[in-house]
Every structure is written in structure tokens, then in C-alpha cells.
Structure 1
């Protein structure tokens, strides 16, 4: 069990940590927009310089993603996550975005999660489970949600402890691992539905 909840970590993160946290959540959900796997790489690279490159690289990523095919509600939510990113490099808007991305990523992973017993919980139960996860009580989360929660926490902890590019490289590695997991789940579900 982590010493701090996900919500605590988001509340204490600096601008770079918040931008990277939101970006990582979005990055892990990109398999839902299959053709856009590398659209966020320039944004990741720009995080090393922080404020200097953020706004311009964000505009480029949005423009690239505008052409992405949006086949369902999940894909539309991924695109909205990028659209909601603040252009200004300031703690409050970045914190709000990182928090929203955290919730959206957990919700998207829940949609692909069979749940502990294979039963689909009611919407109110989903909200409760995700809220409890973010507050440090993941006991009722399915395996995909639990994995996503673990990655969100790990990335914020890495960025709080590491300096500059080293921490960002480690955060990107964690995010890439999560992206592979979701891509495999999406691919498996697509094969089953054929």
C-alpha cells in the first residue's frame, strides 16, 4: 500500500509532475486511437524544458490528433483529454487537468476490466470504486484498474524524487508498459467480437 494516496500525490506535484502525470494517463489510453501511437512523443520531449515548449508542442499534438478516427465513446474521451490540456504552464490548471486525466484513465481501464467476479457493477458503484482507489483503497478494483492506479502513483512518485530528464524517461517507460497492456486487451477484445 502506498504511503500517500493518488489524490495526495497530485495535490503535492509541481508543474512538470502534473503535466507529465496528465500526459502519461493520456499516453496509456492511446491504444483506443490505434493510429495515433506516437502523437505525444514531442510533448514528452518538451517536458524537459517545461514551460518553454509546452504550449507550441501541445498545439501540434492537438492538430495531429484532430485527424484521428473516433469510432466510439472511449476514443472520443481520449481525444477530449488532450483537448482539455491547459496551454498555460501554471500549477492550478495543470493540477485540474492531471486530476481529470487520472479519473478518465481509470474509467477507461474499468470499461475493459472484467472485474474481480466478472460481474459489471452499477454506475454508482463504479464511481465509488474509482474514488476509493484514488484515496488509497483499491480493494474492489479489477486488475486493469489496479494496474492503472499503480502506474499513476508510480509516475508521480518517480517525478517527485528524480531530477529532470531522468525522471521523465522513467515515467515514459512506465507509461509505455501500461500502453502495451491496454493495447493487448483492446486487441483481444476485438478478436473475440469478430
Structure 2
């Protein structure tokens, strides 16, 4: 089953975990530590955490600093999912600046667009957009060129010529959704482990790029 199909069939918890995991793997671009999103992860363990999702989200935004709100035009409270302003994150660059600058902006917009209400409708839009943005970020930061035309093609199952960083991110996104679909709440811990591995990989990539610039 393709990534697009998995997102289309995911339930409310699976969508929340999918979007959050994508954001978690990109935390190194936001200057956050490895624990900054733990309150949101903890709230996904049971249905009672849904009522606290919005409050915990605002706390996370405060810790990461900067302005995260609808005023930037990326999303309303329900999450519009349009991170680029053009609606296209999968082809050529849609933001100005270097690839790393664009990656940082995309990561910030993933957090900005997170819906304050944990409803399936808003989360589906957000999870889908986070999926695209996270793949786009990994494509921008991968030292090897991804031969595909778009990350959307990757999400639909056309995987020929993928670069290693993009291939690994696609695999993690699929794995997280399969874990939640197959195990429900019991899939949270292994999903977090998958995301933690991906965050470490991206942190190493960002560190190497920083050393090269220095």
C-alpha cells in the first residue's frame, strides 16, 4: 500500500502520530532538543489526551520560540496544509534562499500548521502536508540527488532512483502508519523509536553541513 493510501485510511490517532513523527524528525532544524515534543507524544496514549492537545501544542511552540500562528498565512486553526503558499512542495524550490534555509522554513511551517483541535479532519490535512514537507526537507538536505520528478511520486509508490535520505524518510513514514494501523495505541512506542532514529540521522546531516560551511 502506498503512503498516500495509508494516510487516507488512517484513524485520528494514526494521523496525529504520522504528522507528529514527521515534525519530530525535523526538530534539529528548529533548534529543539530531543525531548521537546514529548508532551505531545504522551498525550496520544489515550483519548483523554485529545482535550490537552491544543494546550500542549502551544507549550511546544513557546519552547521552540518564534511566531507560530495563522497570521503567517500557512494555516488556520484547523490546519490548511498549504505550507508553501503555492500549494506545491514536491517539485522545484518554492521558497527563496538556500536549500537548508528552505528546509528550516518548511519545518517551522509544519509546527505552525498543526491544528489546535485533535480531530480527524484537521489532522488528515496536516499529516498529509507534513508527509510532503518532511520528504521535501530530506530531499533538500540529501547530498545525493533524488532522480524522481517529485516527492508526490514517491508517496504514490514510484520509488525508482530515490536518494538514500529520501528513501529512509519514506520508509519511516510508511512504517509509522503501519504500526498504528496494526497495533493501535500499542504502536506508539515503536513509532516513537522509528522517529527517534530518523531525528538522529537528520541531526547528523545538519551537523555535517554546518561543519562544511565552517
TM-score bin, normalised by smaller chain: 0.7 to 0.9
CA RMSD of aligned residues (A): 1.9
User: What SS does the corresponding residue of 2:150 show, helix, strand or coil?
Assistant: helix
Partner of 1:38: 35
Q: How do 1:72-111 and structure 2 match up within 5 A?
A: 72-111=101-140
Partner of 2:3: 6
Match among 18, 23, 28 for residue 21 of structure 1: 18
- Separation in structure 2 between the aligned mates of residue 173 and residue 30 of structure 1, nearest angstrom: 15
User: What SS does the corresponding residue of 2:110 show, helix, strand or coil?
Assistant: helix
How big is the shift at 1:37? Answer: 3.2
How big is the shift at 1:147? Answer: 0.3
Q: How do 1:130-149 and structure 2 match up within 5 A?
A: 130-149=151-170
Is the Cα–Cα contact under 8 Å of residues 31 and 182 in structure 1 kept in the other structure?
yes
In structure 1, list runs of 5 or more residues that go unmatched: none
- Separation in structure 2 between the aligned mates of residue 171 and residue 60 of structure 1, nearest angstrom: 22
Deviation string 1:18-74 (CA, Å, 9 cap, x unpaired) is: 000000000001111234432211000011134232122112112222259xx9332
User: What SS does the corresponding residue of 1:152 show, helix, strand or coil?
Assistant: helix
Partner of 2:178: 157
TM-score by length of 1: 0.86
TM-score by length of 2: 0.78
Regions of 4+ moved over 6 Å = none
Is the Cα–Cα contact under 8 Å of residues 129 and 138 in structure 1 kept in the other structure?
no
Partner of 1:54: 53
Partner of 1:64: 63
- Separation in structure 2 between the aligned mates of residue 91 and residue 102 of structure 1, nearest angstrom: 16
- Separation in structure 1 between the aligned mates of residue 107 and residue 6 of structure 2, nearest angstrom: 23
Q: How do 1:116-135 and structure 2 match up within 5 A?
A: 118=145, 128-135=149-156
Deviation string 1:132-170 (CA, Å, 9 cap, x unpaired) is: 110011113211000000000000000001131x21111
Partner of 1:190: 210
Aligned residues: 180
